[in-house]
Amino acid sequence: RSTGVADLAMLSRLRLMACSRRQRYQSTLAQTPEEVPAMFMEAWARRDAAALASLFRDDADFVNVVGLWWTNQSAIEEAHAYGLRTFFKNSTLTPLKTRTRYLAGGDVATVHVKWKLEGQVEPDGSSSEARRAIMMFVLEKEGDGWRAVAAQNTDVIRGSETMSSTSAQGVQPTTYR
């Protein structure tokens, strides 16, 4: 399908709208490191990928549970916009445990948050079972607030110690006990 001038104009307007939404959120920095995961979950609940991405620096890194790696704020926004309108459209995040550690004289912090995700939509349209994950944010003090430099989300797979890979089964959770 060829892209017409009207389609390009619409795409341009949508990108400008997303940029202006992101700029509006840029001034809303978390006041403490612990607020970043809370603001992430609030943006998730609103299905607001622009607000979620605004928690990250322009050059931030984000690695999701299957190892997809986004290396800037726009890519983080685009990936979450897709997920929040499709397979995460009915999902909720519930925090279970948070731990903050300050580094580099207090201008850098890591925040680990263990949470439960419920309501993910399966490819067949059914609702998946709840799952737990631990997400780590690496944050840097920026002016009078905090912004994420990097984040990584890791699923918690009970009863497993590591992953293994075989040609017959691919990558599978594994335990050696």
Percent of the chain at pLDDT above 70?
85
pLDDT per position as a tens digit, 126-166 = 999 999 999 999 999 999 899 999 999 999 999 899 989 98
Average pLDDT, stretch 40-51?
98
Distance from C-alpha of 123 to C-alpha of 139, rounded to nearest angstrom: 34
Percent of the chain at pLDDT above 90?
75
pLDDT interval class at 1 (50, 70, 90): very low
pLDDT interval class at 167 (50, 70, 90): confident
Q: With 80 as the cut, is the pLDDT of residue 13 above it? A: no
Element (H, E) at 125: none
Per the listing, tokens 């993910």 go with: 120
pLDDT interval class at 22 (50, 70, 90): very low
pLDDT number for residue 7: 52
Q: Which residues contact 92 (CB under 8 A, 6 or more apart)?
A: 45, 117, 118, 119
Given strand 56-63, what is the order of strands in its sheet? 69-70, 56-63, 145-156, 131-142, 108-118, 92-103
The DSSP secondary structure of 8-42, one letter per residue, reads HHHHHHHHHHHHHHHHHHHT--BSSTTHHHHHHHH
Average pLDDT, stretch 6-10?
53
Q: What is the pTM of this model?
A: 0.82
